[in-house]
Amino acid sequence: MSTTAVTGEGRVTGSPRRPGGSGGSGGSGRSLQRQTRAGWLFVTPMIVILSLFLILPIAMALWVSVSDWTGRGSPFSSDVGFVGADNYTPLLVEEGLSRQDFMISMRNTFYYVLGVVPLQTVLALTLAVIVNQRFLKGRTFFRTAFYFPSVVSSVAISLVFLFLFTGTGAVNQTLGLVGIDGPVWFSDARGLLHLAGDGLGLWSLDSPPDALTGTDVAGLSLWEWFAGPSVAMSAIMLQVIWTTAGTFMLMFIAALQNLSADVEEAAMVDGANRWGVFRYVVIPHLRPAILLVLTLGIIGTWQVFDQMYVMTQGGPAKTTLTPAYLSYQAAFNQQQWGQGAAIAFILFALIFALTSIQRYVLRDKDESAARKAAKRQRVAMLNERMES
Amino acid sequence: MTIEGNWIKGAVTNDYPDLDYTVAELPEGPAGPGTLLFTQCWGIAADSDAQAQSVELVDYLTTVDQQMAFADAFGVMPSRESAADQYADAYPEDAPFIAGAEYGRGPIGAAGMEQVIADLNSKLEDLGGADVPGVMEEYDSNAGSVLGQ
C-alpha cells in the first residue's frame, strides 16, 4: 500500500458520505407536503431570531453607511437622507485625515495579520501534535493549560499583559537578565521593519531615505507603509498568538484523533520515518482543519478590537489603530455614524475577498482536478450519446 | 514647573499638603500673551420633554452665587466674568488664573476638530523625533479642511 493511497483513504473517513436523503421516505405527495410544512415550522424560530438579530441589524448598518444619520432618533425617520457614497469617499478617495487614519489602520492590521495568523497556526499545530502523543504523561493537564487562555476574558488577559510589558515589568526584567535593555513596549511607536533596516544599515531611523518618504500612496508615504508592526503592536501580537493558539489547538486535536493509529502504522511499515509520517500522512489528513484554522484566523485577526480598546486606544502614534477600533471611534466618539458603518462594511468586503482568495489558493487540488475530470467525462459521454 | 489649570489645587492639597508652590501667568510669547481656557458644559437634550425646566436649572447653576459655590467645592474658577472679582478676593493666590481669562483662548469645538486634535496629539507623542514644522503644517491643513467645510 502506498502512502498516497493511505491519504486517500483517510480523506474518505474524514468526510462521511451523506445519508440516503429522501430514499424510501418520499411516500405519497401529501405526506411530502406535510413534511415540508413541518420542516418550515421547525426552522421558523431560527429564521425569526436570525432575521431579527442578524439580518435586520446588518441591513440597518448598511443603510446608515449610505445615510447622513447623526445618531439621534431612528435612522429610518424621514429627516435622514440618502447621501450615496459620501461616507465611503473620505476613507478611500479624498485626501484628508479620514483616509490617512483609515490607511494607517489598514497598514497596522495587515502586519498584524501577517504576523499572527501563521504563527498561531504553527504553534497550535505543534501543541496539538505534542499533546496528542499517546504516551505523554499528564495529557489532560497540558490540554487544559494550553486551552485556558482562550477561556479567560480577553480584557483580563490584556490587563495582565499591560503589567508584564511595562518599562520595568516582568518581560523587561527577564530581558535584563540576559543583558538586553527592553523597550517601553506600549509607548514605543517605532516599526519593526524600520528598526531592522536601521540595524542592518539599510537606512537610518533619524534620516529616512527620501525615495521612501517622498512617495505618497493613498495618503501615506512609502516609508510609513513599510514601517512594519510597531513595538507596541508586536506586544499585542504576542498576546494574541498566546491566547488563540489554545483554541485552534483544540481543533487540530479533534482532527488528529480522527486519524486512526493503523494508518500511521501502515505508513511506518511502508518505511516512512516520523517526519515522513507527519509530512505525508498527518498534514494531508489535517488539510481541512488547517483550512478552517487559517480562515477563522484571518477573519478574527482583521477584526481585532478588544486589545486596542483596553490597552492602547490606537496609540502610540496611531500604530495600533485597527479598522474595527477606528469604526468604533468614528461612530461612538466622533458621532460620525455613517463613516463608522462605512469602515465596517469596507472591512467586511476585505475579509470576504481575502477569505475567498485564501480558500481558492488552498483548495484541494487533487479533489478539484478529480471533479473537473469527472465533469469532462460526463460532457464527453453526453456528446457521444447525442451524436449516436 | 508644570502647566496646569486651577483644578490642580484640590489634588495638591489632598496628596501633597506640604508642597510649597506659587502660581504665575505663562510668559509672553512673540505674538503676545496666551493661555488655554476651557469649560465643562451643561448639555440639554434636544428631544427632552422638560427642556424649559432644564434651561432654568442651568441658568440657576450658572449664577454668580452658584459658580462661587462650585469654586469653593472643587477649586475650579467660575465660568462668569462677573464672578471674577469675587473669586480673586476669595483666592488671591489664584489671581494669575483669573488674569489669564483676559487673553486666553478656548479650544476649537467645531464638528470634526476632535479627530484633528487627536491626530496632533498622536504626533506630539513622538515629539523628540518629530519634524515639528511638518507636524504644525499638517495640523494646519487638517484643521483648515475641517473648518472650511
| Residue A388 predicted with pLDDT over 60 | yes
pTM: 0.79
Contact B122 A101 (CB under 8 A): no
Mean of pLDDT values over A359-372: 81
**Alpha helices, DSSP H only, in chain A?**
3-14, 29-50, 56-65, 89-92, 97-131, 139-151, 154-164, 170-177, 192-200, 210-214, 222-225, 231-257, 261-269, 274-277, 283-302, 306-307, 323-328, 337-361, 365-387
CA nearest neighbour of A346 among A120, A109, A111: A109
Q: Which residues of A touch B (CB under 8 A)?
A: 72-73, 96-98, 100-101, 187, 189, 205-206, 314-318, 333-334
Mean of pLDDT values over A64-91: 88
Contact A205 B123 (CB under 8 A): no
Task: Point out the residue among B47, B114, B126 whose CB comes nearest to the CB of A334.
Answer: B114
User: Which triple of cell numbers denotes residue A196?
Assistant: 531592522
- Read off the pLDDT band of A205 (50, 70, 90): confident
Mean of pLDDT values over A284-293: 90
What is the reported pLDDT for A20? Answer: 44
Contact B125 A333 (CB under 8 A): no
What value does the mean pLDDT of chain A take? 85
Question: Quick check: B3 contacting A, CB < 8 Å?
Answer: no
Interface test with chain B among A68, A97, A195, by most B beta carbons within 10 Å: A97
| Residue A133 predicted with pLDDT over 60 | yes
Question: Which residues does chain A have within 8 Å of residue B48's beta carbon, measured at their own beta carbons?
Answer: none
What is the reported pLDDT for B141? Answer: 86
The B residues from 101 to 130 touching A (CB cutoff 8 Å) are 112, 114-116, 119, 122-123, 125-126, 129
Residue B119, burial from CB neighbour count under 10 angstroms (0-12, 13-18, 19+): buried
- Tell me the shortest Cα–Cα distance from A346 to chain B, in angstroms: 20
pLDDT (tens digit, 9 = 90+) per residue, B61-79?
989 899 888 888 877 888 8
Mean of pLDDT values over A183-189: 85
Contact A314 B122 (CB under 8 A): yes
CA B81 to chain centre: 14
- Read off the pLDDT band of B59 (50, 70, 90): very high
What is the reported pLDDT for B149? Answer: 53
Taking CA atoms, A349 is separated from A50, A195, A353, in Å, by: 21, 33, 6
User: Which triple of cell numbers denotes residue A271?
Assistant: 518505511
Mean of pLDDT values over A144-156: 89
- Tell me the shortest Cα–Cα distance from B20 to chain A, in angstroms: 31
Which of A83-92, B49-58, B118-127 shows the lowest mean pLDDT across its residues?
Answer: B118-127
What is the reported pLDDT for A23? Answer: 44
Contact A206 B129 (CB under 8 A): yes
Running DSSP on this structure, what letter comes out for residue A94? S
What is the reported pLDDT for B29? Answer: 85
Does ipTM exceed 0.90? no
What is the reported pLDDT for A27? Answer: 52
